Chains A and B, each alone.
Chain A
Amino acid sequence: MKEKDLYIENKINQIILYAEKEDESYDAIKSGSYAVKHFLGDYFKLKENLDKELREELKKGNITPVYYYMLMQDMGPGDLAKRVGISKRKLRKHFRPDVFAKLDHARLQKYATVFGITVEQLKKSIFIKWT
């Protein structure tokens, strides 16, 4: 695509794209991102809705913070289980509030590290701001 058609004016983030220059050579240009310019607001809205919905479930005692963070950080269960060093089967048990309540500090610490939060935040469901 020609540079003038590809280029997006947006200061929020910059990426490198390869485009056709005036002299027909192809080279790198610095540009804004199309998706960020047009869809960042939607993305925030989506995350907000998901956040609201999951917190509601959490309050009702249907899910646990482990499940909450897995979805909010868009991770696959297999990946999360490997990161924490347990089986997928065991991870699924941690989606149950009664099992989650009995987890020891070491296990919670592992989850907290993966999610980039503190154990306190994980236990008390003090959620970080997503947007």
Chain B
Amino acid sequence: MDVTEIPFEHKMAAHCETGTVTALLNHAGLEITEPMVFGISGGIFFGYIKSSDLPFPMFILRSRPGNIRKKISQRLGVKFHEERFRSAEAGEAALDNAILNGHPTAVQVDFFYMDYMADWQRVHINAHYIIVFGMNGGNYLVSDSYYKQKSMLDRQKMLTARFAGGMMAPKGTLFYADVIPDNINLEKPIITGIKRAAFNMTRLPIPFLGVKGIRKFAEKLNEWPAIARDIEDLSDRVIKINIFLEDQGTGGGGFRYMYATFLQQAAAITKDDRLKTMSKEMMEIGDKWRNISYFAAKIGKNRDLGPERIKELSMMVYAQADEEQKFFNELYKLVK
């Protein structure tokens, strides 16, 4: 049986894409933290999305999948070798080749087929990233930042997961760190990242993105009882607010805690104490998101989902929109 294994340090991370990019950069010798990758890429965001691709309207808390890698590459000058494929055979051969050439390689997959996770955790979501660092007969050796240890994935499953169709189809996307420049200075990328994030949150002229998206979410929450199949379904959807904010790779408080951590690290690097103050404020905003998620989980569990309760939840979200508008406006002025 053929065994290839690239020495690779497995580390859990809050989020799969930032975790994957961070792990690849660390492996290539660049010391950088997950929050730093998240912040520099301007990953923090909000959007309220309704589409027939989704079983129910949902909100997103971060930029488009793939964006984190792209922006990190632009802003730090690191180069990733990146490929997508039309044919599954070519995609499989390219992954095997990359492994044989000694590159731990990130692949985009449908999370549903990651069978080392528990059944109840596995959902169809095409924007999951894992790192493949070896092959062992009919299995790939993988490092998934959501899983406690290194694990294995069957070759056929991997192929299905990489070439799942549907929304945000992965199309076999793979990438590995190629060129890392010496002496990367983080100061300028940090400022660019903050500026972009603050801009996206407050100044996009689209009614369901950024702070406007938070308001849209607050407004539309009141319609949820009418679009849910029944009270059971509604209860499930409201509890999922908690899951989206806390569990689905956000680092807690809907990515806001991770962003606060980024701002604190950024303050130390740029020696700008104002960022430290902002970081504290962001932490508090995260706490308020966490209150929302606790509240949602509680009323969802108790089926306490009358119009007043939903209204109460909606008001909490509105307040959050005001807070974030103020915060990101201030942040924008600070780096302008």
Q: Which residues on A are within 8 Å of B, measured CB to CB? A: 1, 6, 12-20, 25-28, 30, 33-36, 38-40, 42-44, 46-47, 49-50, 71, 73-80, 82-85, 88, 113-114, 116, 130-131
Contact = CB atoms under 8 A, between A and B. Distances in A.
B131 interface: no
Contacts of A77: 52
B302 to A, nearest CB: 10
B290 interface: yes
Given A18-B14, A43-B239, A88 B52 contact: yes
B36 to A, nearest CB: 12
A46 B236 contact: yes
Contacts of A76: 51-55, 167
B119 interface: yes
A127 to B, nearest CB: 13
A42 B301 CA distance: 7
Nearest to B121: A13
A26 B257 contact: yes
Contacts of A39: 239, 242, 297, 300-301
Given A15-B247, A33-B246, A35-B243, A114 B164 contact: yes
6 contacts: A17-B252, A35-B239, A35-B246, A73-B124, A79-B166, A83-B165
B253 interface: yes
Given A76-B55, A83-B165, 14 more contacts: A1-B253, A15-B146, A15-B249, A16-B145, A26-B279, A28-B251, A34-B294, A35-B297, A42-B239, A44-B120, A79-B166, A82-B165, A83-B124, A130-B119
A39 B239 CA distance: 8
B14 A73 contact: no
B13 interface: yes
A80 B166 contact: yes
A39 B123 CA distance: 17
B232 interface: yes
A14 B247 CA distance: 10
Contacts of B246: 17, 33-35
Nearest to A25: B264
Contacts of A74: 55, 123-124
Interface in B30-57: 34-35, 51-55
A85 B166 CA distance: 8
A6 B253 CA distance: 10
Contact of B251 (A17, A25, A38, A46): A17
Contacts of A88: 52
Contacts of A50: 232
A45 to B, nearest CB: 9
B310 interface: no
A5 to B, nearest CB: 9
A17 B120 CA distance: 21
Contacts of A49: 232
A89 to B, nearest CB: 11
B9 to A, nearest CB: 15
Contacts of A46: 232, 235-236
Contacts of B236: 43, 46
B87 to A, nearest CB: 15
Contacts of A42: 239, 301
Interface string B169-194: 10000000000000000000000000
A18 B239 contact: no
A41 to B, nearest CB: 10
Nearest to B257: A18
B290 A1 contact: yes
B67 interface: no
B198 interface: no
Contacts of A16: 12-14, 145, 251
B153 interface: no
A35 B293 CA distance: 9
